[in-house]
Amino acid sequence: MADRTFALSLSRLASFSDDVAKDFDAQLTALVADCRKRPGCPKSRTLTLKVECNPNENDQDDVDVALVVSSKIPAAEHQTRRARATRNNQLLLEFEEESASDGE
């Protein structure tokens, strides 16, 4: 049996694992940094803490518990540029209309 026993609750999640707490803090820091780096991007940055519970196959009174920390930062959007497709399906940037076929 474990050295310490506690009921799992929202207020005790940090006690579940030091790694979970460190991962949560690191991902939260990354979300805040992205908000500061790209204040013009109105899309939400998301931090998710998921609790997964599965029956323990060896003991019906036990439950296997896993905490999963994940985050989502919106993709960076950059300027759209026109490119010319060649017969070999390559893309030419900075092409000139009359010489676009030269790069094939």
* Of 5, 29, 20, 4, the residue nearest 52 (C-alpha): 20
Residue 56 domain boundaries: 10-76
On whether residue 50 sits in a domain, the answer given is: yes
Q: Is residue 90 part of a domain?
A: no
Is the residue at 52 inside a domain? yes
Residue 88: inside a domain: no
* pLDDT class of 100 with cuts at 50, 70, 90: very low
pLDDT tens by residue, 1-36: 556 788 889 888 888 888 999 999 999 999 999 999
Rounded to whole angstroms, the Cα distance separating 74 from 76 reads 6
The total number of structural domains that make up the chain: 1
Q: How confident is the model at residue 101 (pLDDT cuts 50, 70, 90)?
A: low
Point out which residues pair with 98 in neighbouring strands.
none
Residue 15 lies in a domain: yes
Q: Under a CB-based contact definition with an 8 Å cutoff, are residues 92 and 82 in contact?
A: no
In a domain, 87, yes or no: no
- Other C-beta atoms within 10 Å of 73: how many? 19
